[in-house]
Amino acid sequence: MIRKIFDLLANVPFVNIALAGICAAALGMAYMAEYVFGLAPCILCLYQRIPYFIVIGLGCLGLLMFKKKPQIAIITIALSGIALLANSIIAFYHTGVEQKWWPSHLEGCATPDLSGDFEDLLARIESAPVVRCDEIPWADPILNLSMANYNVVFCLGLAVIAFISVKLARAN
C-alpha cells in the first residue's frame, strides 16, 4: 500500500493534475461559501485564493510540458509547493488576526482612522470594506475552527506532499 502511494507521488503528470484539481475544488468551495451561503470574504480571504490560481496554472503547465521537458513538469510541482506554503503562511497570519494575536497591517483589515473632521471621517467609513479580517464569519460547530484555520493545515499538507513528490520524481 505504501509503495503504491510512493509510486503515485512519483508520477509527475498525476501530481500536477491532482494538485491543480484539489486547488480548483478548494476555490469552488470558497466561491460556494461566498455566493451560495453569503459568506463575504475579507481581503485576507481573497489573498488566500491567489496561490490556488497559481497552482492550477502550474499544474496545467506541468501536465502540458511533461512529454517534452519532464524536468519542467517537476519544477512546476516544486513551485506549486512553494505557492501552497505561501498560502499556508497567509492563512496563519489571517488566523492570528482572527484570534487577536496581532493586528492586521493591511489596508481594509484594520479599524478605520477616526481622527479628522466629520466629512473626512465619513468618507473613510464609507470607503472601508464591509468585511473585517478580524471577525470570523464561520467556524465549524465541533472544533470551532475557522476557514483560515483549516486553510493553514490544508495548504501545509499539500505543500509537504508536493515537496515529497519532487524528491521522489527526481530519484526516478
Can you give the residue range of the structural domain that contains 81? 2-171
Confidence of residue 40 (pLDDT cuts 50, 70, 90): confident
Residue 50 in grid coordinates = 491567489
**SS3 of 37, please?**
coil
What pLDDT is attached to residue 19? Answer: 97
DSSP-H helix ranges across 66-146: 70-98, 118-127
Query: b vs e for 20-58, b when ≥16 Cβ sit within 10 Å of the residue's Cβ?
Result: bebbeebeeebeebeeeeeeebbbbbebbbebbebbbbb
Q: What is the spatial distance between Cα 126 and Cα 128, in angstroms, rounded to a whole number? A: 6
Question: In this model, does residue 110 exceed pLDDT 70?
Answer: no
Say how many CA atoms lie within 13 Å of 157 toward its Cβ.
Answer: 8
Percentages helix, strand, coil for the chain, rounded to the nearest 5? 70, 0, 30
Q: How many domains does the chain have?
A: 1
Among 73-77, 135-139, 158-162, 163-167, name the one with the lowest average pLDDT: 135-139
Amino acid sitting at position 126: E
Taken in order 101, 104, 108, 112, is the CA torsion positive or negative? positive
Question: In this model, does residue 115 exceed pLDDT 80?
Answer: no
CATH classification of the domain holding 152: 1.20.1550.10
pLDDT, tens digit, 9 for 90 and up, residues 56-104: 999 999 999 998 998 999 999 999 999 999 999 999 999 999 988 998 8
**Mean pLDDT of the region 33-38:** 91
Amino acid sitting at position 56: I
What pLDDT is attached to residue 119? Answer: 72
R_g over Cα of the chain: 19
For residues 95 and 146, the answer to whether their CB atoms sit within 8 Å is yes
Among 31-35, 50-54, 58-62, 135-139, name the one with the lowest average pLDDT: 135-139
**Mean pLDDT of the region 137-166:** 93
What pLDDT is attached to residue 131? Answer: 74
For residues 62 and 23, the answer to whether their CB atoms sit within 8 Å is no
